[in-house]
Structure 1
Amino acid sequence: MKSALREQILTILAAIPSGRVTTYGRIAAMTEGGTPRLVARALRDLPKGHGLPWFRVITASRKLADHPGAAEQRDRLAAEGVMLDARGRAPTERLWP
């Protein structure tokens, strides 16, 4: 992945407000040439202790992606008031931008 694209993704990630979520695809659409898979890759490659709100990024179906940090992601979103419904989806009114 080009460093310019990675920087765009991380800048957008840092801008997601507390209590809101966005999708891999929405982030990709805000970049120059990004795809949802490249966004996921950038998030997966974040170093430990980075402090970026990776947990605010969800799938296009408004669900959590299947990954080892999903339980932590659910807890961190709940702490910000983002409660998933019975199907595991975030409320549409919490989508950003």
Structure 2
Amino acid sequence: MRSELREQIYTIVAQIPPGRVTTYGRIAKMTDGATPRAVGSAMGHLPSGHELPWHRVINASLKVTEHGGAVRQREKLRAEGVAFDSRGCVNSELLWP
């Protein structure tokens, strides 16, 4: 992935406010050519010591994608007041932007 595209993704993620979420696809549409998969890859390769709110990026089904950090991601979202329904989905009213 081009470094410029990765930087676009990280700039967008940095803007997601606490208590809100967005999807890989929504972020991709805000860039100059990223795909949702590329956004996911960028999230999976964040530099050590970063301050990005990676936990606020979820999948198109409004669920946390299952990965090694999924439990931690749900915990961080709950700490910001994000609730999950019985299916593990976030309320669409919390979508940003």
Tell me the residue number matched to 2:2.
Answer: 2
| TM-score of the aligned structures, taking structure 1 as reference length | 0.98
Give unmatched runs, 5+ long, in structure 1: none
Matches for 1:1-97 after TM superposition, within 5 Å: 1-97=1-97
Displacement after TM superposition at 1:51 (Å): 1.2
1:56-94 deviation digits (Å, cap 9, x = unpaired) = 000000000010100000000000000111000001110
Mapped to 1, the partners of 2:4 and 2:47 lie a distance apart of: 18
Q: Which secondary structure does the structure 2 equivalent of 1:37 belong to?
A: helix
Mapped to 1, the partners of 2:68 and 2:41 lie a distance apart of: 14
| TM-score of the aligned structures, taking structure 2 as reference length | 0.98
Q: What percent of counterpart residues are identical?
A: 62
Displacement after TM superposition at 1:48 (Å): 2.5
Give unmatched runs, 5+ long, in structure 2: none
Aligned residues: 97
Mapped to 2, the partners of 1:60 and 1:45 lie a distance apart of: 20
- Letter of the 1:28 counterpart: A
